Amino acid sequence: MNEVKPEGESKPVPSELVRATGRRKTAVAAVTLSRGEGKIKINNRGLKEYFRRDSLVTHIIAPLEVTGMMGKVNIRCRAHGGGISGQAGALSLGIARALAKFEESTRKALRKEEMLTRDPRMVERKKYGMAKARKRFQFSKR
């Protein structure tokens, strides 16, 4: 895991760089948070460019608004898997976890709003002899 790099090859790491991971359904978001002017990039695209629905954008920036960190930190994310709704949920959790690491005083506010808890709901598996997880084929008496 911890690789030893030869001298002269190490990249300059910005001070106070925090990484966190968020998950929702089958989506995973890797979040990197640093001090800045409030730029949010997801898969090298802007927030509103990647998530076009306003409700998803609101859900993603909720941890920043709760903690009052809007415009004070830059966020870079890599989201993959699932759909856009799952990715938005994963991103929200990842940002909340990163903020809690970045500034310990924000943890209480995030916990109160239940933003540090992973949503455990997953898609139920399909069962044999059935059309979907719970939907049955049409019953025929004769």
Answer whether 61's CB lies under 8 Å from 88's CB: no
Report the distance separating Cα 17 and Cα 52, nearest Å.
28
Q: What was the pLDDT predicted at 16?
A: 81
Q: What was the pLDDT predicted at 8?
A: 52
Domains plus CATH for the chain? 18-112 (3.30.230.10)
The bridge status of strand 45-46 relative to strand 40-42 is antiparallel
Section 8-29 average pLDDT: 78
State the sign of the Cα–Cα–Cα–Cα dihedral 103, 23, 21, 50: negative
Q: What was the pLDDT predicted at 142?
A: 84
Q: Which residue has the tokens 């399909």?
A: 126
Whether 4 shows a pLDDT value over 90: the answer reads no
Section 121-128 average pLDDT: 95
pLDDT digits over 47-105, tens only? 999 999 999 999 999 999 999 999 999 999 999 999 999 999 999 999 999 999 999 99
Three-class SS state of 116: coil
